[in-house]
Structures are given as structure tokens and as C-alpha cells.
Amino acid sequence: MAQALEEQIEIIERALGERMIEHALAIVRQWLNEIGESNPFEKSFFTIQQDYQDLFSNWISANDTGLDKDLDTLTGNTYRLVDAVYAALRIQRGLSPLMRGFNEESVQSIMHYFSNHVHPMEEDLAWLRKTMRDPKKGARALMAISSISRGLRQCFSEESVLTLIDGINNGDGVVGEQCLSNIILLLAHYDVRIDFFPEIQNAFANALAEMNDDGEQAFQILCSLVLSTSNEWLKRASIKEIQVNDLPEELQSLLEMTGASKDFPGVQSLITNSEQEYMRSIIDILPDTWVYSVIVGEAYERQNQMALTYLTIGRMDMMWDNIELASQWLLEHLRKGANTPQDYINYGHCMLLQGDRVMAFENYRQARQLCKNAKEFNNLFRPDRRALVDHGVPIEQVYLIEDQLLKSE
């Protein structure tokens, strides 16, 4: 049975993440055979294949001087070939439409075009750059930015990403924030491959420097992105809670005139289960991404604030690295009431790791009493066994706690 396209993409992403170029090219070769002999990608394919073989031969016969740099460059070129062939294959299979232009006076046409076009032309991106700078066309720019960002999740385009980065400091406040928030999401989404696109990394770093606020706006948007996952109503890609009524009057008028207000990304277009799930998946990986390290960095205050942000949405991912901070936050949280079993378990972990076994057991007991049965408690407590042991609690003590809590069952 032939592999599904989604499976092949995953294999390629994993392979190129490890710079295993030949492994990725084997799938690209299958795609090119399907597209046909007249495809425009053969020359690039054979050039990359030959360069890779030459690099390997040189390493065998000489030394590895410059090997990492050359491998990175070649991997980036392979990614570009993959993106181009993948876009062509989607069109050939009918998975994406073949589109030639859009009606720039229609918000719906703009959204449809930029959401579905797998490879925007330079003239399309030039229009977007111009529109982002025109205050009278702010609504069109917002629609295009949100739409092209969603399209980029499926089909990566280096030029499109650079265009959005360019918009961070070249639009008005709302447009700039929309670009910044979408870029943060996209850089996290494509974290592994971004290492092989230094132009993108440099452009983003330069855009932050140009803002002259030491990255504070980017950091606040990053916090807002994390906080958004605790709210079932995602407001928009930048996660600022902006409604249509919050926009300038000229933008409101255009949205109402075109009938697009119901689709404005600040109201409903992103409020879907799949979008919420996507956001949660990004938040899962965010602390390990390049863009997170650039924005948060080694700044102690930002690291603490981000840890508190994760705690606020009920995520204990960073609790283990700052037990004292987590225990302070959890104590305040517990004092507010309406606590869940997980809240008591988490605070019990903090107390246990800080050496207060009595308080730890009392909180575990509170959690057990709130659970309907032993199974419910186990489902909450047992996933943390490994973390407790990794942070110095002997496994025998973990079992002892569990046994005492469950002995009445």
C-alpha cells in the first residue's frame, strides 16, 4: 500500500531535521515520477543529489572541515526543493486549487486566495507588503495575514514568511501585532527546519531589534498565546481580545460592507476545535523552540513570568524547574477556592520536594478525597512519578504515598 502524503511529509521532516538528505530525496524522487518527466524540478534534484555525494566523498577522502556548515546549506536547499515539489504535487492531485489572482476589493476573495494558494507569486506578496502599509486597507491586510499564515502551516514558503516578518514594523499597530503573533506561531510550528533558514532567523531578530523595546512586545504576545489555550474562545491569531467594535471605524465599515464581519479573525474564524487543538500543540513544544529562546532568552524575570503563565493555564511543565515559584503561585491559587484534585496534587509535589512531607501528604489526601475513585486519582498522580524520582524522591517513597492513599479501597 502506498504511503499517504501526510506520512511522507512527516518522514521528510524527520529526515531533514537530522540532515539525512538522501533519505528525504528518495521520497522526492517518487513525487517527481508522479508529476512526470516534464517537471521543472529535475535539475535542482540532481544538483542537490550530486552535491550531497560530493560532500560525502570529500569527507571520506579528506576531512570534515566545514562539514556542518555545508550540510546546513544543503539541507536548506533540500527543504526548498521539497516545498516546491510538494506544492506542485498537491495541485496535480487536486488537493490544492490552481489559482491565478484574486479580487483585492473582496475580503472573501483575499481570504480564500491566501488560505489556499500553495505558492503565492511575488506580485501577491508585493500587494500584501503594500497593503500592510496602507491604513485605509487595514482590514484587507488583517485578512490576508491571518489567511496566509494558516496556509503556511500546510505549505511552507520562505518568501511568505519573510513578508510577514517585514510587516512587523511596516504596518500600523494592529497589523504589526498580527504579523508578529502569526510569525511566532509559524516559527514554533516549523522549529526544526528554521535552523536551516538563517535568512529567516536573521530577519526575525532584526525585526525585534528594530522595535527598540528589548523584545517586550514579542514577550507579552508570547504570554498571551499561552494564556489563550485556557480560553475556549480563541480570539485571533495574535490572541489579543480584539472584537470588530474595537477596530477603527473605517475597518468596521469595510467589514460590514463586505459582510465579512462574521469571518473577521478576531471573532469567529479561528474559533474551532481544530484550531484550539492546534494552539495547544504549539504551546506543548513552545519552550523548546528557537523562537522561544530568542524572545525569553536567559532573562530571569521573563523565565519566571513565563513559568507563571504556564501555571495559570493549569500546565505544570515548568513547575519542576522552579519549585519555589510554583509553590507560591499554587498556594495563592488554592486560597481562592474551587480547587481541583490536580491543584492539590501539584502543591503536594512542591511540598514534598521542599522537604515538608506532612503538608505534602495532606494535599495528596485532599486530592484523593475529591476524586471519585482510585482510578481517577491514579490517572492524575502516576504520570508524575518519573518527575518526582528525577528530582530526588526515592521511588519507594512514591509507592509508600500511593499505598497509604489507596489503602481504604
Average pLDDT by consecutive 10-residue portion of the chain (409 residues)?
A: 83 95 96 92 96 90 82 96 95 89 87 89 92 88 91 93 94 87 95 96 96 92 85 39 45 43 40 74 91 91 85 75 85 84 91 93 93 90 91 92 79
What pLDDT does residue 193 have? 94
CB 153 within 8 A of CB 119: no
Domain boundary among 31, 66, 93: 93
Domain boundary among 254, 281, 308: 281
| 71 and 48 co-located in one domain | yes
What pLDDT does residue 272 have? 61
| 115 and 259 co-located in one domain | yes
What's the gap between Cα 202 and its chain centre?
Answer: 19
Our CA dihedral for 166, 167, 172, 177, rounded to 10 degrees, sits at: -120
Whose CA is closest to 181, among 230, 221, 210, 151? 221
342: domain range? 316-406
CB 158 within 8 A of CB 199: yes
What pLDDT does residue 409 have? 55
CA dist., res. 351 & res. 332, Å (int): 14
In a domain, 121, yes or no: yes
| 180 and 135 co-located in one domain | yes
The secondary element (H helix, E strand) that includes residue 11 is: helix 5-17
In a domain, 181, yes or no: yes
CB 188 within 8 A of CB 218: no
CA dist., res. 365 & res. 377, Å (int): 10
Domain boundary among 261, 281, 301: 281
C-alpha cell at 71: 550540510
Residue with cell 522549529: 191
| 123 and 259 co-located in one domain | yes
In a domain, 269, yes or no: yes
- Return the CA Rg of the chain: 25
CA dist., res. 106 & res. 385, Å (int): 56
CA dist., res. 31 & res. 33, Å (int): 5
CA dist., res. 108 & res. 147, Å (int): 10
| 269 and 390 co-located in one domain | no
CA dist., res. 30 & res. 27, Å (int): 5
Model's pTM, two decimal places? 0.79
| 133 and 157 co-located in one domain | yes
Q: Which residues contact 51 (CB under 8 A, 6 or more apart)?
A: 74, 77
In a domain, 309, yes or no: no
Our CA dihedral for 152, 158, 163, 167, rounded to 10 degrees, sits at: 70
What pLDDT does residue 336 have? 84
| 114 and 89 co-located in one domain | no
| 87 and 131 co-located in one domain | no
In a domain, 183, yes or no: yes
Sequence length of the chain is: 409
What pLDDT does residue 363 have? 94
C-alpha cell at 172: 500600523
| 182 and 259 co-located in one domain | yes
What pLDDT does residue 93 have? 92
| 235 and 325 co-located in one domain | no
CA dist., res. 363 & res. 358, Å (int): 9
